[in-house]
Amino acid sequence: MTGTPSDGFAAPDAHAHGAPCENEDVFRLWNIGDPSCPVPENVFFSAGIHPWDAGKYELAAFAPLFGSPRCLAIGECGLDRTADAALPVQMKLFEAQIAESERRGKPLMIHCVRCFPELLRLKSSRPEDAPVWVIHGFRGTKRKAFDLLDAGCVLSFGAGLLRDAGNMDYFAEIPLDRILVETDESPELFGGILAEAAAMHLLSPSEFAGAVRANFERIFRHELA
């Protein structure tokens, strides 16, 4: 697996769903939400229980995945008011995964829907040297973005950036060292996401991709090939 997309400039995909596969042109951090999911050799991943799956799996079943050196982050985990599980149940599960993140020194990949006040309260209670919290698929308002940035979070942008670019004119104001890009469930859009993000940040695709690559390596403590 390499870190070089087919369009010629290097950038990693920070969060991808689907069947993990090797030997792609793009380095993807695959999301593993089922502890029984087979992970091919040389594939890197995040692992955790999504709030929609609260009650479906035992967190202990993820211990072998969490302990793998190829597991670069805990999650996708978080809070979601549209999920079936009650918010207190989600909160307990999320707090347990925060503890795993801090115990193992691995960043959190976070899903958050209509629960940002709760998320920020939790973040404010964590030690300053805790692993990074990455808010995946961010597509909110400027105020929400900068509340999260002020709290120390990193924002990961995906297909929502293409859909909502007109409502995200603040994107160029986000510090370049606090940005990741991802495909989530739309790997075919990766080139378009990178190009749009670069243009919105007034950079060439190669300049933007280089910055994103450096961010990924720093946050996930993994040097890309």
For 19-56, the pLDDT digits (tens) are 888 778 899 999 999 999 999 999 999 999 999 999 99
Q: Examine the pLDDT at 2 and tell me if it is beyond 60.
A: no
Residue 2 falls inside a structural domain? no
Nearest to 66 by CA among 38, 92, 105, 95: 105
Which domain range does residue 184 map to? 13-220
Three-class SS string for 33-88?
A: CCCCCCCCCCCCEEECCCHHHCCCCCHHHHHHHHCCCCEEEEEEEEEECCCCCCHH
Q: How many domains does the chain have?
A: 1
Tell me which DSSP letter residue 13 carries: E
* Within a domain: 8: no
Model pLDDT for residues 74-112, shown as the tens digit of each residue: 999 999 999 999 999 999 999 999 999 999 999 999 999
In a domain, 95, yes or no: yes
Instruction: Tell me the CATH number at 130.
Output: 3.20.20.140
Interatomic CA distance for residues 10 and 207, integer angstroms:
10
Q: In this structure, what DSSP letter does residue 165 have?
A: G
pLDDT in tens, 175-193: 999 999 999 989 889 999 9
Kindly compute the dihedral angle of the four CA atoms of residues 175, 167, 31, 95, in this order, to the nearest 10 degrees: 70
Whether 4 maps to a domain, the answer reads no
Which residue in 101, 103, 51 sits closest to 77, CA to CA?
51
If one compares 18 and 154, the residue with the highest pLDDT of the two is 154
Residue 87 lies in a domain: yes
